[in-house]
Structure 1
Amino acid sequence: MGVDPLWYKDAVIYQLHVRSFYDANDDGYGDFEGLRQKLPYLEALGVNTLWLMPFFQSPLRDDGYDISDYYQILPVHGSLEDFKRFLDEAHEMGLRVIVELVLNHTSIDHPWFQEARKPGSPMRDWYVWSDTPEKYKGVRVIFQDFETSNWTFDPVAGAYYWHRFYHHQPDLNWDNPEVEKAMQEVMFFWADLGVDGFRLDAIPYLYEREGTSCENLPETIAAVKRLRAALEKRYGPGKILLAEANMWPEETLPYFGEGDGVHMAYNFPLMPRIFMALRREDRRPIEAMLQETEGIPESAQWALFLRNHDELTLEKVTEEEREFLWEIYAPDPRFRINLGIRRRLMPLLGGDRRRYELLQALLLTLKGSPILYYGDEIGMGDNPFLGDRNGVRTPMQWYADRNAGFSRAPYHRLFLPPVSEGPYSYHFVNVEAQQDNPHSLLNFNRRLLALRKRYAQVFGQGTLTLLPVENRRILAYLRTYGEERLLVVANLSRYTQAFHLPLEAFQGLVPIELFSQNPFPPVTQPLYPMTLGPHGFTLFALALPETIRVSAPDWAEEVTPEMLPQVPMEEGLESLFVETMADERARAAFLKALVQWLGERSWLALKPQRGELYDALRFQKTSPLYLTLLQLEHHGRTLVFLPLAWDAEERESSGAFARTRPREGYLYELSQDAGFYALLLRRLKEGFQGRSLKAYYRGEHRGPVPEELTLLRPGLAAGDGVWLQLGLVQDGGLNRTLETLPRLDLPWILPPEGQLVWERGRERRVLALTGPLPEGKPQEAFALVQTLAAEGLARLRGQRLEEGGAGLLVEALRELESLARLLGVRLALLHQRLKQVEGEGEGVPLLGRGLGAFLEVSGELYLLALGPRGWGSPLEDLARMAYDLERAVELAWESLGEEEEGMSQAVGAFVVEALLGAYQDTVPEPLDLEAWPGVMASWAEVQLQREERSIRLRILRRWKERAR
């Protein structure tokens, strides 16, 4: 893993106790092998750093913070080899690991203390002794619920020893250089193994001086700086120190030094003010503490947290604030301990999900590196009857199985019982139950963490600017890093709030909602109006309008080549199109240029090798324009209907495929020219008739004629109340559409009411169809799929799908999944109706058009076209549809600037499965899904003939592998 010296600024830390996480050997205690097995879960959750609570040799009187051997792992947690294996695998996954460095005290069982007790021992000076408990009088007792003094008499030593915490945790004497050297050696031992950082436990209490509070002394600050210097001298930058200093801001800031102290420190003063602001529905407690904690060195970072393994400490609040928070959040005295509240996050909030989500959003977007406590991502509860703070340290709840899936050991052998009663029982609250539920807390947190990862530098290193919203119930702040600007808006009230954001400096920018990636109205005035529901929050990127990505169809990106081939043309277009007036040399050059042009068009389902003009009709004399039927050869013959034109001037629109000389001008193919579709519609409305050398052309249109038509794809245009499609490839599809669609009594079919027909004796070809369009703005189904896929994929950026990804996919792709299922249902119903209308045959009549057969208007999906008449397996139509769905997803992923195909492949598979499932649920006969991969591979191979783009190659490779 490459070392970024500032990695901790972008860290998202997950705090866990090895003992509580997962038991792999069924002895009732979590272990490193169990933690190693659960690393994929943590990776998929979206965290990138693990903070491990003490796992060293200990009598466990204080949950492992009473260490009896710094170099040994507690046997129930495994061996040193187990730890190394876990650490290596975590690093392979990109996860960093922080461990505890308990500098202030040891256990009374530590050999150092046992030796120091002995009269005359040379190690006596490793601890702090006194003949009287009157020394350092006035220093506060931290654990007032359990200790009455900081001194305890030891009968073996015949003296009192000093302890700032429990009496079984004697303080080390940091005035002895040998102690400092020994603790540095402990740090080096674990750093040599590869750990990435150290949490400095209880750091303010290293030194004692008479007449002081014995907290945050200059000597302590100096010792911390020496610790960092020793760490960097041995390892260089990259390993970090995180200070646990539960102090007021002015007392914590010195630990950072001038960038030569600790790298990180917990923002203890901010944490209780978040809960206070939430309850008072007023942002001022948060704003005040954000301002108080400014001014740390550029390379330093605050560590933010809501809850952890200890009590919600209320030491660094005023007495009035403490009484208020106790009364609100812990009215039951059982939940109070040591000037704090021993509750987990979700029960602390009364089980209110909206408040939970709001606080998680603040945790992950305020300035600093967030810390999540294990189990809070699923809303675990606590057990106040377990004593001390053990109620918030119960086993992780994996399944509704016995022992919460934590261990297969007998229940009485578990180190602590899992929560098994009430609304937070592991029967209801567990990872398995939430894994595939898109609305679960687990998947909410995964989405939020993915968002944090996507904007890691903005949230981790960017500036924070509070916005002075007049409504105090609204907390709004801007996070800025480089050119990126993110806006966070939160409603601290339990009621809906209307307000105005002061965004005068950002007029002209467009707020993009980060979860949905939907643009909001641009900022056009100094005060931007907004409304948020109870405890609601929203995150925006403020973007320039021109930077907003819009998915463009691949055919629209096909540009005219810089060097156009030359076509000799002495006179008019008749020398190219009219057989009796043709200049053979000119016609040959014209056809060669046209075939070359068509070979590069993705909308044409083949790569032509040569072509012949089958028929041509002059459609317009001024600005010459011909309707042509071109016979193309490629593994057989295909007729293509094309409008071709000539112009003396170069047009802005694409479509130029040749240049003419000596008569200077350009030849154009108009399948992508919306103006031609509008012209054709007007002529059909007039009742068009024409005669070529070979055939009659007759046409009519009975509907409206809008001034303009919008090109939805080559061959399909629409305007107010009307659609028009050209049979660019004469495969018989429009003939069948004209004949059969009016006979299908399905409400989502748009039957044609006008047509352009080519007739020669009994031979009849439909060249174009028109029909009525419901009110609304139409778009083709492929474009709709691409848009929905882009929105869903944007929501999934940064997610890991290996562990329980189904829930994330369902939530992010809700609209796309619904569309795929709708297509599956409608394809099944269409097959059934076509059987009834056209007969059974040997299979089902083929639709043959994939997504190209459907059109979306105002949220409704309409059938617009059929394929040529034929018989085949329903799998063939499903393959056409599924291929289009997959390709649209791949194009959407590409449009987002992403290259790794794992996410798009997972989304494509998800959408195709929805299509197949809906089809099977609608038809009585089961599908032959064993043949499905082969059918898909065959169709993907056919589609590769259109164009050899990397996307089509990937889809073909994927299905060939599945078909093996």
Structure 2
Amino acid sequence: MNPKWWKESVVYQIYPVSFMDSNGDGRGDLRGIISKLDYLKDLGVDVIWVCPIYKSPGHDNGYDISDYCDISPEFGTMADFDLMLREIHSRGMKLMMDLVLNHTSHQHPWFVESRQSKDNPKRDFYIWRKGKNGGPPNNWESYFSGSVWEYDERTDEYYLHLYSRFQPDLNWENPAVIDKLHEMVAWWLKKGVDGFRFDAIAHIVKAEGLPDALNPQGSTTVRAYELFSNLEHVHTLLQNLYDKVLYYYDIMTVGETSGLGPEQALVYVGDGRRELNMTFQFEHMFLDAASAGSGKWDVVPWNLLALKKIMSGWQTTLHNRGWNANYLCNHDQPRAVSRFGDDVRYRDCSAKMLATFLHMLEGTPYMYQGEEIGMTNAAFQSIDDYRDVETLNYYEERRNSGVSDEEIMKAIHKKSRDNARTPMQWDGSEGAGFTTGVPWIKLNSNYVEINAAKAVKDPDSIYHYYKKLIALRKQHKVIVYGEYRLLLPLHPEIYAFTRTLEERQLLIVLNFFDRSPVFEMPQDLSPDGMELLISNYPSAKGEDLRKLPLRPYEARVYIKTIPLGAEGAQN
């Protein structure tokens, strides 16, 4: 079982610019976060993950860092940060920072020096190459559209950026870069932070020689992605970081590592690997993509059988070998209830069902701000209301390809990162309680109906359902450490599974759709002794668990005591 505090924790992610504005400038800040700590404590949160608050020009909302050891003025000062950290710790909670080690801002002093001349001492802090055949050094494409290479006229060379041209990639082949980053990580740990989410950590190593990606139509294919993601040397670098810095602190670490299956993830998080505690997997985030190569914008209906296969693979492979980080939405993804539930007719019960799913899986659950009140996607009608660089680049690229505005906006309404970045809806007043000024991005128009003040007052709200789930996690070790077993793997509407730890067993039954299927209990399970632990609908007397009709988006969790060694006890 190998108990750890970070396995037993519930994490709440804050996107600070959209969380709470304390000074009326329309942008969230650190003192705004401080003002809402009691709300998070009451919810039951253990760890607060704060997205980047470092000094930054803000081309990618803080993921373009210009000074790792300073706070962006829009968020406050280092004194504000120190106060926030003390206030978090005084409430028995912990703080996890979001740290970008793959790239910096183009305004970082290292890069400003690097582009001065080819013989500048900082030149090799970044990845510079001469062009070839009158164009970029290779044919890799950026995550934010276009080439990964930006031409720099001063030195007649290109620098590499996997994300925007304002985010040049650091050169992890340079020992001086590694030393500087280790020093910076240690500086934050000495200040007392409790962990890190390492952004884009899978990309810090690029293929030797930076070769072209091959034509996908050819008999042998090498996608560009395979040339800068999860390469073997990443693990050497992470073990080095662990041995020299992280080992000396009792912290939690999670890596953003797209493109992995569970067996590959064990190389990062397997017991004894000395790298990371857990990774964020992305397989379930591509369930609604038309094909593996079509990208996120080509949206199709997702399939429950595929979700079961993906999540079951992670649950079973990592059990007793590593640890899962479970999530359904974050600052880069659409709102969970809009994507996997029904945010119109069944917003309340589908949000509760998804919460049950998330919190009953083995692994640390990560909640995103507003998830606990059922915030939804915001379908802004004009592209002028969007702020996300990825969204704006997509819009321009598609417009230039002759695609109609209607088609482009349809995809943006479903998948734009700004869906998750609209301001937190605290109450129904003007500004949604988020700001007394003009918000940096428009509010979702439904804030009068969907807000935290209303949810806290309603004992049957999504908020209070989350509170119950979090409280149950602290009461029952089986929710944290129990072994997962999938039931009814081929049922197209019901996701059911058990969790078993010693003599305690949970049965989780989830209806993922708005129809009314019947749950039929497998023959090797017995309903005898099962007690209802939590449900998003009232239960009826005389229910027969052997054959249980489910209502739209219904969620039920049962608990029972089983004799050790009994059939099904260790399944």
Q: Quickly name the TM-score band, shorter chain normalised.
A: 0.7 to 0.9
Name the amino acid aligned to 1:130. Answer: R
Q: Do structure 1's residue 541 and structure 2's residue 555 form an aligned pair?
A: no
Q: CA deviation at 1:399?
A: 1.7
Partner of 2:7, secondary structure, is helix
Cα distance in 1 between the residues matched to 2:303 and 2:517: 11
Taking structure 1 as reference, are residues 51 and 479 closer, same or farther at Cα in structure 2, changes over 3 Å only? same
Aligned to 1:371: 366
Q: CA deviation at 1:406?
A: 1.4
Q: CA deviation at 1:25?
A: 2.7
Cα distance in 1 between the residues matched to 2:289 and 2:561: 32
Cα distance in 2 between the residues matched to 1:175 and 1:308: 31
TM-score normalised by structure 1 residue count: 0.48
Taking structure 1 as reference, are residues 272 and 446 closer, same or farther at Cα in structure 2, changes over 3 Å only? farther
Aligned to 2:325: 303
Q: Do structure 1's residue 390 and structure 2's residue 421 form an aligned pair?
A: no
Q: CA deviation at 1:287?
A: 2.7
Q: CA deviation at 1:440?
A: 2.4
Cα deviation digits, residues 326-368 of structure 1 (max 9, x gap): xxxxxxxxxxxxxxxxx32334344132332222211111222
Aligned to 1:213: 227
Taking structure 1 as reference, are residues 470 and 23 closer, same or farther at Cα in structure 2, changes over 3 Å only? closer
> 2:337, 2:350 within 8 Å by CA — same for their partners in 1?
no
Q: CA deviation at 1:310?
A: 0.9
Partner of 2:530, secondary structure, is strand
TM-score normalised by structure 2 residue count: 0.80
Cα distance in 2 between the residues matched to 1:280 and 1:71: 42
Q: CA deviation at 1:126?
A: 0.4
> 1:274, 1:285 within 8 Å by CA — same for their partners in 2?
no
Taking structure 1 as reference, are residues 244 and 80 closer, same or farther at Cα in structure 2, changes over 3 Å only? same
Cα deviation digits, residues 738-790 of structure 1 (max 9, x gap): xxxxxxxxxxxxxxxxxxxxxxxxxxxxxxxxxxxxxxxxxxxxxxxxxxxxx
Cα deviation digits, residues 708-760 of structure 1 (max 9, x gap): xxxxxxxxxxxxxxxxxxxxxxxxxxxxxxxxxxxxxxxxxxxxxxxxxxxxx
Taking structure 1 as reference, are residues 13 and 490 closer, same or farther at Cα in structure 2, changes over 3 Å only? same
Aligned to 1:262: 276
Cα distance in 2 between the residues matched to 1:304 and 1:232: 23
Partner of 2:427, secondary structure, is coil
Q: CA deviation at 1:288?
A: 4.4
Taking structure 1 as reference, are residues 104 and 297 closer, same or farther at Cα in structure 2, changes over 3 Å only? farther
Name the amino acid aligned to 2:362. Answer: K
Cα distance in 1 between the residues matched to 2:319 and 2:182: 25
Matches within 5 A, 1:542-557: 542-543=560-561
Q: CA deviation at 1:150?
A: 0.7
Partner of 1:466, secondary structure, is strand
Give the counterpart of 1:104 among 99, 102, 105.
Answer: 102
> 2:315, 2:361 within 8 Å by CA — same for their partners in 1?
no
Aligned to 2:456: 435
Name the amino acid aligned to 1:244. Answer: E
Q: CA deviation at 1:5?
A: 7.2
Cα deviation digits, residues 214-242 of structure 1 (max 9, x gap): 2211111211121222234432xx21221
Q: CA deviation at 1:544?
A: 5.9
> 2:283, 2:310 within 8 Å by CA — same for their partners in 1?
no
Give the counterpart of 1:95 among 93, 96, 103.
Answer: 93
Cα distance in 2 between the residues matched to 1:205 and 1:36: 33
Aligned to 2:466: 445
Count of residue pairs the alignment pairs up: 493
Q: Do structure 1's residue 417 and structure 2's residue 428 form an aligned pair?
A: no
Q: CA deviation at 1:194?
A: 1.0
Matches within 5 A, 1:578-617: none
> 1:512, 1:519 within 8 Å by CA — same for their partners in 2?
no
Cα distance in 2 between the residues matched to 1:75 and 1:223: 32
* Relative contact order, higher structure (CA 8 A, sep 6+): 2
Q: CA deviation at 1:467?
A: 2.1
Cα distance in 1 between the residues matched to 2:332 and 2:62: 13
Aligned to 1:361: 356
Q: List gaps (5 residues or longer) in structure 1.
A: 312-342, 546-964
Aligned to 1:241: 253
Taking structure 1 as reference, are residues 512 and 224 closer, same or farther at Cα in structure 2, changes over 3 Å only? same
Q: CA deviation at 1:251?
A: 4.2
Taking structure 1 as reference, are residues 543 and 296 closer, same or farther at Cα in structure 2, changes over 3 Å only? closer
Q: Which moves more between the two structures, 536-545 or 187-196?
A: 536-545
Cα distance in 1 between the residues matched to 2:332 and 2:531: 39
Partner of 1:403, secondary structure, is helix
> 1:511, 1:519 within 8 Å by CA — same for their partners in 2?
no
Q: List gaps (5 residues or longer) in structure 2.
A: 212-225, 291-299, 389-416, 564-571
Cα distance in 2 between the residues matched to 1:486 and 1:183: 44
Question: Percent identity of the aligned residues?
Answer: 32
Cα deviation digits, residues 866-910 of structure 1 (max 9, x gap): xxxxxxxxxxxxxxxxxxxxxxxxxxxxxxxxxxxxxxxxxxxxx
Aligned to 1:127: 126
Partner of 1:97, secondary structure, is strand
Aligned to 1:461: 481
Name the amino acid aligned to 1:478. Answer: T
Name the amino acid aligned to 1:296. Answer: L
Aligned to 2:337: 346
Taking structure 1 as reference, are residues 378 and 203 closer, same or farther at Cα in structure 2, changes over 3 Å only? same
Q: Do structure 1's residue 287 and structure 2's residue 301 form an aligned pair?
A: no
Taking structure 1 as reference, are residues 252 and 437 closer, same or farther at Cα in structure 2, changes over 3 Å only? same
Cα deviation digits, residues 245-279 of structure 1 (max 9, x gap): 11130543322254322111012113444999x96
> 1:511, 1:522 within 8 Å by CA — same for their partners in 2?
no
Name the amino acid aligned to 2:138. Answer: K
Partner of 2:474, secondary structure, is helix
Matches within 5 A, 1:688-703: none
Name the amino acid aligned to 2:374. Answer: G
> 2:479, 2:499 within 8 Å by CA — same for their partners in 1?
yes
Name the amino acid aligned to 2:512. Answer: L
Q: Do structure 1's residue 514 and structure 2's residue 533 form an aligned pair?
A: yes
Cα distance in 2 between the residues matched to 1:70 and 1:102: 9
Matches within 5 A, 1:626-705: none
Aligned to 2:144: 143
> 2:486, 2:497 within 8 Å by CA — same for their partners in 1?
yes
> 1:107, 1:169 within 8 Å by CA — same for their partners in 2?
yes
Partner of 1:540, secondary structure, is strand
Q: CA deviation at 1:297?
A: 7.3
> 2:256, 2:281 within 8 Å by CA — same for their partners in 1?
no
Give the counterpart of 1:198 among 190, 196, 199.
Answer: 196
> 2:16, 2:51 within 8 Å by CA — same for their partners in 1?
yes
More strand by share: 1
> 1:281, 1:492 within 8 Å by CA — same for their partners in 2?
no
> 2:319, 2:483 within 8 Å by CA — same for their partners in 1?
no
> 2:373, 2:451 within 8 Å by CA — same for their partners in 1?
yes
Q: CA deviation at 1:108?
A: 0.4
Q: Which moves more between the two structures, 214-223 or 389-398?
A: 389-398
Partner of 1:149, secondary structure, is coil
Cα distance in 2 between the residues matched to 1:200 and 1:189: 16
Give the counterpart of 1:496 among 512, 516, 524.
Answer: 516
Give the counterpart of 2:495 among 463, 468, 475.
Answer: 475
Taking structure 1 as reference, are residues 522 and 484 closer, same or farther at Cα in structure 2, changes over 3 Å only? farther
Partner of 1:186, secondary structure, is helix
Taking structure 1 as reference, are residues 504 and 53 closer, same or farther at Cα in structure 2, changes over 3 Å only? same
Q: CA deviation at 1:31?
A: 1.8
Matches within 5 A, 1:901-920: none
Cα distance in 1 between the residues matched to 2:419 and 2:316: 34
Taking structure 1 as reference, are residues 473 and 391 closer, same or farther at Cα in structure 2, changes over 3 Å only? closer
Name the amino acid aligned to 2:548. Answer: M
Taking structure 1 as reference, are residues 499 and 28 closer, same or farther at Cα in structure 2, changes over 3 Å only? closer
> 2:54, 2:72 within 8 Å by CA — same for their partners in 1?
yes
Cα deviation digits, residues 107-134 of structure 1 (max 9, x gap): 0000000011111211101000001167
Cα distance in 2 between the residues matched to 1:281 and 1:104: 33
Partner of 1:100, secondary structure, is strand
Cα distance in 1 between the residues matched to 2:64 and 2:458: 41
Name the amino acid aligned to 1:459. Answer: I
> 1:511, 1:520 within 8 Å by CA — same for their partners in 2?
no
Cα distance in 2 between the residues matched to 1:207 and 1:499: 48
Report the structure number with the largest CA radius of gyration.
1
Name the amino acid aligned to 1:216. Answer: N
Q: CA deviation at 1:470?
A: 6.9
Cα distance in 2 between the residues matched to 1:275 and 1:518: 37
